[in-house]
C-alpha cells in the first residue's frame, strides 16, 4: 500500500527539476572537492532545470565560487595524523563521535533533499563507512540512482585490493551502485586492477574520459613568458617548491621566470621561509598563496611544473601545456603511476626520483626543456577529454530510467 508520504514525494519529484547530490569526504587536499564542483557545474549547465548539492569535508570549500544552481554543505572536518590515524579538525569530539555526526548529517540531507542521483567520489562506503546508512536508505526507497565515480588511478593493485577488502568496499560496490564511472580511459589505465568485481558489476562501468577544465573567459594572465609552478593543494608540495627555488638560486641564467602558486595547505613557517627565498630572487620567481581561478595562470604559461594529482593533470591536458610532473610516491603510488603512464604516451614528461634524481640540476634541465617540449595535443587520443560530456549523458540516461524504477 502506497503511503501519503510516498505519494507526496512522487508528486514533488514530477513538479521540480532533477536533483543531484555529490559526496566527497575530503579529509585532505582539494582534489575531491574540485572534481565534484566540475561535475556539478557541467550537469546543471547541461540541464537548466537541474540543481546540485555537494557534501564535502574540505576546510576551504567556502573559498570557491560555485556555479549557478550548485550549492555545498560543509561536513565537520577531520585531519590525518602522521601515524595514519584520524582526528576531528576543530570540534571537541573524538573521531568516532565525529564520524557518527557526519554520517547522521549525510543521511538527514539525503532524506530532505531527496536526490534523483547520488554521485560518490572514490570511496564506496565513505569516510570510515559513514555513507553506508545513506546508501541503505536510498537503495530501499529506490528513488535515487547511485553512482560511484573513480579517478583514473587509485593505487597499486595489491594495495588497493587490501584496502577495499578492509573497508568492505567491494561488497558495497556490488550491492548498491547502479553505475561506476571512471574519469579516464581504459587504454591509459584501469583503476580497478586487482579488485574482485563480478562481471555484472564490471558491465556497469563507464569510461568517461578525463574531465575537461573550463576553457571559457579568464582574467588577463601575468606578463609573459613564465613557467607555472603548482603543487596543487600544497599540503605535500614543499619538496617540489624547494627544488624549483634551488634551481633558480643556483643558476642566475635560468629562464623564463616562474610564477609559483603555493596552494592553501602549504603555510606556516615553511611558506615563510620560501617567501624569503622568493624575495631574494628579485622577480625571477613570484608567488601567490591560493588562486581559486588558477585557470588564468594556466592560460598564459609557457609550461608547467607540477605534482601529479588528478585535477592538475586534467588542467595540463585541458590547457594543452607542456608539463613536467614531479609525482609523490607516498602514501600512495597514484601520482607516480599516472605520471609514468602519461610519459609513456607522450602527454607529459616526468621528473622521477630514482631515474632522474630530485636535484636542482635535474629540475633546471626539466624547466629549460619545457620551451621545446611538445604539448599534450601532439599525443591526444580520441575521447581523452570527453569526461564532462559523457557524465551529462549518463545523468540524462539515469534520470530517464527513474520513473520506470519507481513504478516497479
The answer for residues whose C-beta is within 8 angstroms of residue 196's C-beta and 6 or more apart is 161, 170
Beta-carbon contacts of 246 under 8 Å, excluding residues fewer than 6 positions away, are 360, 363
C-alpha dist (Å) from residue 182 to 149, 157, 390 = 6, 16, 11
Q: Which CATH superfamily is domain 4-211+386-407 in?
A: Glycogen Phosphorylase B; (3.40.50.2000)
Instruction: Identify the pLDDT of residue 404.
Output: 46
Domain boundaries, the chain: 4-211+386-407, 226-379
What is the predicted pLDDT for the residue at 264? 76
CB-based contacts of 45, cutoff 8 Å, min separation 6:
67
Owner of C-alpha cell 578492509: 166
Residue 245 has pLDDT above 70, yes or no: yes
Please give the residue that has the higher pLDDT: either 378 or 29.
Answer: 378
Asked if residue 384 has pLDDT above 70, the reply is yes
325-340 confidence digits (pLDDT tens): 999 988 889 999 999 9
Q: What is the pLDDT of residues 297-308, one digit of tens each?
A: 999 999 999 999
What number is the average pLDDT over the span 213-222?
A: 76
CB 186 within 8 Å of CB 152 = no
Q: Write out the three cell numbers for 88.
A: 576531528
Q: Lowest mean pLDDT: which of 33-37, 39-43, 280-284?
A: 33-37
Can you give the pLDDT at residue 227? 98
List the beta strands (DSSP E) in 337-406: 349-350
CA–CA distances in Å: residue 172 to residues 36, 57, 120, 131, 192: 21, 21, 12, 10, 14
Domain 226-379 has CATH 3.40.50.2000: yes
Helix (H, G, I), strand (E, B) or coil at 88: strand
Report whether pLDDT(116) > 90. yes
- pTM of structure: 0.90
Mean of pLDDT values over 347-354: 97
Neighbouring CB atoms inside 10 A of 70's CB total 22
Q: What is the mean pLDDT of the chain?
A: 90
Backbone angles phi and psi of 74, in degrees to 5 = -85, 125
What pLDDT score was predicted for residue 408?
A: 36
pLDDT confidence bin for 406, thresholds 50/70/90: very low
For residue 349, the cross-strand partners are 324
Same fold? 4-211+386-407, 226-379: yes
- How sure is the predictor about 291, in pLDDT bands with cuts at 50, 70 and 90? low
Amino acid at each position: 500500500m502506497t503511503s501519503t508520504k510516498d505519494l507526496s514525494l512522487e508528486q514533488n519529484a514530477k513538479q521540480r527539476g532533477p536533483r543531484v547530490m555529490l559526496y566527497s569526504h575530503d579529509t585532505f587536499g582539494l582534489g575531491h572537492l574540485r572534481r565534484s564542483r566540475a561535475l556539478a557545474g557541467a550537469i546543471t549547465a547541461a540541464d537548466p532545470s537541474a540543481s546540485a548539492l555537494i557534501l564535502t569535508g574540505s576546510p576551504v570549500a567556502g573559498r570557491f565560487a560555485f556555479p549557478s544552481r550548485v550549492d555545498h554543505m560543509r561536513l565537520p572536518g577531520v585531519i590525518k595524523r602522521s601515524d595514519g590515524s584520524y582526528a576531528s579538525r576543530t570540534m571537541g569530539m573524538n573521531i568516532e563521535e565525529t564520524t557518527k555526526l557526519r554520517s547522521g548529517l549525510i543521511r538527514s540531507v539525503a532524506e530532505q533533499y531527496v536526490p534523483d542521483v547520488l554521485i560518490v567520489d572514490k570511496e564506496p562506503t565513505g569516510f570510515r563507512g559513514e555513507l553506508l546508512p545513506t546508501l541503505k536508505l536510498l537503495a530501499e526507497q529506490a528513488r535515487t540512482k547511485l553512482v560511484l565515480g573513480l579517478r583514473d588511478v587509485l593505487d597499486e593493485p595489491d594495495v588497493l585490493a587490501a584496502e577495499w577488502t578492509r573497508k568492505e568496499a567491494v561488497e558495497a560496490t556490488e550491492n548498491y551502485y547502479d553505475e561506476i564511472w571512471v574519469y579516464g580511459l581504459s587504454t591509459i589505465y584501469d583503476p580497478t586492477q586487482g579488485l574482485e568485481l563480478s562481471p555484472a558489476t564490471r558491465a556497469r562501468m563507464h569510461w568517461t574520459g578525463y574531465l575537461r577544465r573550463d576553457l571559457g573567459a579568464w582574467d588577463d594572465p601575468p606578463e609573459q613568458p613564465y613557467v607555472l609552478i603548482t603543487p596543487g593543494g600544497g599540503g605535500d608540495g614543499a619538496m617540489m617548491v624547494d627544488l624549483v627555488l634551488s634551481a633558480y638560486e643556483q643558476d642566475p641564467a635560468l629562464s623564463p621566470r616562474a610564477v609559483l602558486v603555493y596552494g592553501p595547505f602549504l603555510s606556516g613557517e615553511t611558506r615563510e621561509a620560501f617567501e624569503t627565498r622568493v624575495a631574494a630572487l628579485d622577480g625571477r620567481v613570484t608567488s601567490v598563496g591560493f588562486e581559486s581561478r588558477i585557470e588564468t595562470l594556466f592560460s598564459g604559461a609557457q609550461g608547467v611544473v607540477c605534482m601529479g594529482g588528478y585535477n592538475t593533470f586534467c588542467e595540463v591536458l585541458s590547457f594543452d601545456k607542456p608539463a613536467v610532473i614531479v609525482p609523490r610516491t607516498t602514501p600512495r603510488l597514484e601520482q607516480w603511476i599516472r605520471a609514468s603512464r602519461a610519459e609513456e604516451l607522450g602527454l607529459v614528461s616526468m621528473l622521477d626520483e630514482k631515474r632522474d634524481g630530485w636535484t636542482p640540476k635535474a629540475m633546471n634541465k626539466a624547466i629549460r626543456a619545457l620551451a621545446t617540449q611538445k604539448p599534450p595535443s601532439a599525443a591526444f587520443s580520441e575521447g581523452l577529454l570527453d569526461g564532462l560530456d559523457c557524465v551529462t549523458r549518463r545523468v540524462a540516461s539515469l534520470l530517464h530510467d527513474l520513473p520506470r524504477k519507481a513504478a516497479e
